[in-house]
């Protein structure tokens, strides 16, 4: 389940602490919030071992390590700021400077190097007008070089916002930048072959969940009942595999874990597996003709799984 609301990494939901956007997993403490930096619960276990993953979590949220966050981390882990700074600067993955909206990593591993990666890196530098490790002045792009991404057979490799490009040639650089700017996840719903409708039914009563009167993306939607934060109402999901469009009675705040119910038999749609992306429970539905589709119950998470031979495993 996902939506179009864009969040920039600044906490907007602190007024309802239980659904704070920074709180990805319930067992993870919130380390830093630019708006409410007094709201920082103590970590459950005070071990230093977590430091690197704490910094990784912060970086995952903000795209870099804000100074304030390092101060808070130092305080909460009972380690000196110098110590934290040491760790933050020792590892390549951390950045102390804000980064751009899009991250382009050019692999400079040996295999990529002998296949001409330096020329690719140079082409990116020239086209973006920045050097590796820098961010464009419009804060759109950050360019970095990495030591090896482990896809050596297909070098030179470039990763833009998590999308891999293989056997990159200098002549492809321009189009990679353009595609990244346009959004790499974007699919043309009407023409893309990878998008197709999936008809589903309730995993308990087997009643169809398709709503032919309520169309989304031009197809009958999947209608379920949802409950969250003491609210209870309907939710219509696009039946197109590959589309994230939804419609709902009440707006659902981002990152809320929602309970799904069958509108016909009123049982909760719940399976036994968790989302591979975020760990929230997955919602199973039966695919017409055989198979199961599961979607993540967390608003904003795109975790899903279409298993055409599978049955629901207890």
Partner 1 sequence: MKKLSSISELTDFRHRILSEKKFEHEKLTLVVSAGTCGQASGANDIIRVIKRCILERSLQENIEIRVTGCHGFCDTEPSILVEPGLHLYPKLSIEDVPRVIEAALTGDIDEELIYREPQGQKRYYCQSDIPFFRKQTRTIIASNQKLDPIRIHNYIEQGGYAALEKVLLKSDPEWIIREVQESGLRGRGGAGFPTGKKWELARASNNGKGQKYIVCNCDEGDPGAYMDRSLLEGNPHSIIEGMMIAGIAIGATKAFIYVRGEYPLAIKHTIIALRQATDLGLLGENILNTGIDFDIEIVRGAGAFVCGEETALIKSIEGYMGEPRQRPPYPVEKGIRGCPTCINNVETLANIPVIISGGAKEYAKVGIPGNTGTKIFSLVGKIRNTGLVEVPLGIKISEVVYDIGGGPLGKAKIKAVQTGGPSGGCIPASMFDLPISYDSLAEAGSIMGSGGMIVMDDNTCMVDVAKYFMNFLKGESCGKCFTCRKGTQRMYEILDDITKGKARLEDLDLLEELALVVKDTTMCGLGQTASNPVLSTLRYFRHEFKRHIVDKRCDAFVCKELVGAPCQSACPLGTEAWRYVAHIARGEYKEAYRVIREPNPFPSICARVCDHPCESKCRAGTTGGEPVAIRSLKRFITDRFDPSTYTPKRTEWSDGEPPSVAIIGSGPAGLTAAHHLSLKGCKVTVFEAEAETGGMLTCAIPSYRLPRDIIRNEIDSLLDENITVKCNTALGKDITIKGLFKDNYKAVLLAMGAHKSRPLKLENEDVEGVYPSIEFLKAFNLRGELHAKGKVGVIGGGNSAIDAARVAIRQRDVESVTILYRRTRDEMPAFVEEIEAADQEDINIQTLVTPVKIIAENGHISAIECIKNELGDVDSSGRRRPVPIEGTEHTIQLDTLIVAIGEDSSTDCIDPVSESEIEITKWGTVQADSKTFLTNLPGVFAAGDLVTGPNTVVEAIAAGKKAAVMIERFLKNEELVRPAEPCIPKVYIEPVAVDDEMQKAGRARTPQAPAEWRKRSFAEIEVSLSVDEATREAMRCLRCDLEFTKKPEVEEKKTLPIGEKMA
Point out which residues bind partner 1 (CB under 8 A): 47-53, 55-56, 83, 86-87, 90-94, 108-116, 119, 123, 146-155, 157, 162, 164-166, 169-172, 193-194, 196, 198, 241-242, 272, 274, 276-277, 287, 289-291, 306, 308-309, 313-314
Please state the three-class secondary structure of the chain as a single string.
CCCCCCCCCCCCCCCCHHHCCCCCCCCCCCCCCCCCCCCCCCCCCCCHHHHHHHHHHHHHHHCCCCHHHHHHHHHHHCCCHHHHHHHHHHCCCCCCCCCCCEEEEEECCHHHHHCCHHHHHHHHHHHHCCCCCCECCCCCEEEEEECCCCCHHHCCCEEECCEEECCCCHHHHHHHHHHHHHCCCCCCCCCCCCCEECCEECCCCCCECEEEEEEECCEEEEEEEEEECCEEEEEEECCEECCCCEEECCCCCCCCECEEECCCCCCECCCCCECCCCCCEEEEEEECCCCEEEEECECCCCCEEEECCCCCCC
Nearer to partner 1, 38 or 314 (CB): 314
Q: Of the two residues 114 and 265, which places its CB atom closer to partner 1 in the complex?
A: 114
Q: Which is nearer to partner 1, 45 or 230 (CB)?
A: 45
Question: What separation in angstroms does the CA of 291 have from each of 198, 259, 294, 302, 314?
Answer: 11, 22, 10, 20, 15
Which CB atom, from 15 or from 147, has the smaller least distance to partner 1?
147
Cβ 18 to partner 1 shortest distance, Å: 24
**CB of residue 36 vs partner 1: minimum separation in angstroms?**
26
Give least dist CB 268 to partner 1, A. 19
Closest separation in Å from C-beta 166 to partner 1: 5
Nearer to partner 1, 157 or 262 (CB): 157
Q: Which is nearer to partner 1, 25 or 230 (CB)?
A: 25
Q: How far is the CB of 298 from partner 1 (least distance, A)?
A: 16
- Residues 97 and 136: beta-carbon distance below 8 Å: no
| Cβ nearer to partner 1, comparing 38 with 309 | 309
Nearest-approach distance from CB 209 to partner 1, in angstroms: 16
Q: Tell me the closest approach of the beta carbon of residue 149 to partner 1, in angstroms.
A: 6
């Amino acid at each position: 389940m996902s939506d179009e609301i864009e969040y920039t990494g600044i906490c907007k939901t602190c007024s309802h602490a239980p659904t704070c956007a920074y709180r990805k997993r319930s067992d993870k403490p919130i380390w830093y919030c630019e708006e409410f930096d007094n709201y920082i619960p103590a970590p459950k276990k005070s071990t230093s071992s977590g430091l690197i993953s704490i910094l990784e979590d912060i970086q995952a949220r903000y795209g870099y390590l804000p100074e304030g966050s390092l101060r808070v981390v130092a305080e909460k882990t009972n380690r000196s700021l110098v110590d934290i700074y040491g760790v933050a600067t020792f590892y390549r993955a951390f950045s102390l400077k804000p980064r751009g909206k899009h991250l382009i990593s050019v692999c400079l591993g040996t295999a990529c190097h002998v296949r001409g990666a330096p020329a690719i890196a140079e082409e990116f530098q020239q086209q973006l007008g920045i050097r590796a490790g820098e961010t464009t002045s419009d804060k759109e792009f950050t360019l970095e070089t990495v030591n090896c991404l482990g896809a050596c057979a297909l070098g030179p490799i470039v990763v833009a916002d998590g999308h891999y490009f293989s056997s990159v040639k200098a002549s492809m650089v321009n189009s990679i930048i353009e595609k990244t700017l346009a959004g790499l996840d974007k699919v043309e719903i009407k023409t893309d072959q990878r998008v197709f409708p999936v008809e589903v039914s309730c995993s308990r009563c087997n009643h169809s969940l398709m709503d032919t009167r309520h169309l989304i993306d031009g197809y009958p939607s999947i209608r379920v009942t949802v409950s969250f934060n003491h609210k209870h109402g309907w939710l219509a999901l696009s039946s197109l595999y590959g589309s994230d469009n939804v419609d709902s009675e009440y707006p659902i705040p981002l990152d809320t874990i929602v309970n799904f119910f069958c509108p016909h038999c009123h049982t909760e749609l719940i399976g036994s597996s968790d989302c591979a992306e975020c760990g929230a429970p997955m919602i199973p539905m039966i695919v017409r003709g055989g198979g199961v589709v599961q979607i993540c119950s967390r608003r904003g998470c795109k975790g899903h799984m279409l298993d055409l031979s599978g049955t629901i495993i207890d």
